[in-house]
């Protein structure tokens, strides 16, 4: 008797086969990387993989995409979606992701005539995701959602495919998600956010870390265990180092600490984009 995950995997393959020719938007996270592998192994040359690079994309994510593209022999197209030329995105409204995805999907459509698909899964539907409105506008399909696949399911699928390291990747949304709504997006700020998170990870090895840029200052969010285990010495060191990083670009903000909370930089009334 087939297990639930076997049935979902078979359903996913049926959906992809019925689409026939796909263009996968791959960000560098577990969801889209796994979908890229499944689609390419199933469809071969009828599968194109797209990856967008910009100051908001962590360099580690781009490196993972390139490494997997070589390993899997993907037909990879790297694009600059151009969201940093979009004043609406740069203003960082609460629905910033709508403008990000609008630029991404518009760019992909300019390079391919295949059906655009994304790594959106069932769990994503319960969160505020204005990017899904952009996907609807561009007729993007979400095979995981159509197959009833959750985040845990796709991690299990990744392990089955031999993508052990990818299956264990923690959630890591774009760097712009660290900047509080209403604070303009700056490339130099995002670069320092990435550098600060890497430095904190190296120093204390937390399970989760986010460097948030807020109106009241810089906030280092850590998982509860790591936050409660911080010694006064570590706090002083982290405060000095991170503060010095941002002072170098003129942001002489206070550095504080808080428990890690998903999406905590989104402040304001959440609404759908038209």
- pTM for the full predicted model: 0.92
| Segment 178-200, tens digit of pLDDT | 999 999 999 999 999 999 999 99
The answer to whether 29 and 120 have CB atoms below 8 angstroms apart is no
Q: What is the pLDDT of residue 100?
A: 97
- From first CA to last CA, the distance across the chain in angstroms is 46
The neighbour count for residue 95, using CB atoms within 10 Å, is 24
DSSP 28: S
Residue 54 · residue 84 · CB < 8 Å: yes
Domains, the chain, with CATH or none: 4-167 (3.40.50.620), 175-259 (3.30.70)
Predicted confidence (pLDDT) per residue in 103-151, tens digit = 999 999 999 999 999 999 999 998 788 999 999 999 999 999 999 999 9
**Of the candidates 76, 78, 74, the residue with the CA atom closest to the CA atom of residue 37:** 74
CA distances from residue 199 to 24, 171, 226 in whole angstroms, order as listed: 32, 18, 15
Helix, strand, or coil here: 141?
A: strand
pLDDT at 269: 54
**pLDDT for residue 268:** 67
CA distance 35 to 23: 11
């Amino acid at each position: 008797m087939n297990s639930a995950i076997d049935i979902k995997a078979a359903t996913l393959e049926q959906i992809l086969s019925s689409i026939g020719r796909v263009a996968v938007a791959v960000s560098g996270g577990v969801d889209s990387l796994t979908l890229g592998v499944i689609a390419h192994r199933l469809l071969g040359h009828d599968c194109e993989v797209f990856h967008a690079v910009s100051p908001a994309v962590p360099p580690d994510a781009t490196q993972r995409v390139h490494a997997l593209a070589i390993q899997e022999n993907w037909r990879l197209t790297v694009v600059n979606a151009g969201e940093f030329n979009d004043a609406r995105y740069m203003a960082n409204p609460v629905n910033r992701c709508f403008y990000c995805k609008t630029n991404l999907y518009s760019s992909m459509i300019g390079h391919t005539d295949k059906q655009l698909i994304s790594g959106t899964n069932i769990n994503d539907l319960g969160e505020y995701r204005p990017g899904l409105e952009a996907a609807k506008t561009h007729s993007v399909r979400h095979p995981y959602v159509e197959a009833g696949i959750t985040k845990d399911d796709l991690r299990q699928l990744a392990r089955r495919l031999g993508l052990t390291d990818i299956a264990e990747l923690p959630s890591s949304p774009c760097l712009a998600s660290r900047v509080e709504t209403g604070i303009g997006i700056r490339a130099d700020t995002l670069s320092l956010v990435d550098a600060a998170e890497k430095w904190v990870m190296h120093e204390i090895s937390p399970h989760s870390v986010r460097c948030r840029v807020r109106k009241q200052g810089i906030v280092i969010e850590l998982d509860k265990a790591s936050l409660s285990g911080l010694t006064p010495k570590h706090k002083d060191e982290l405060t000095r180092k991170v503060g010095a990083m941002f002072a170098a670009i003129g942001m002489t903000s206070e550095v504080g600490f808080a428990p890690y909370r998903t999406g905590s930089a989104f402040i304001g009334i959440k609404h759908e984009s038209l």
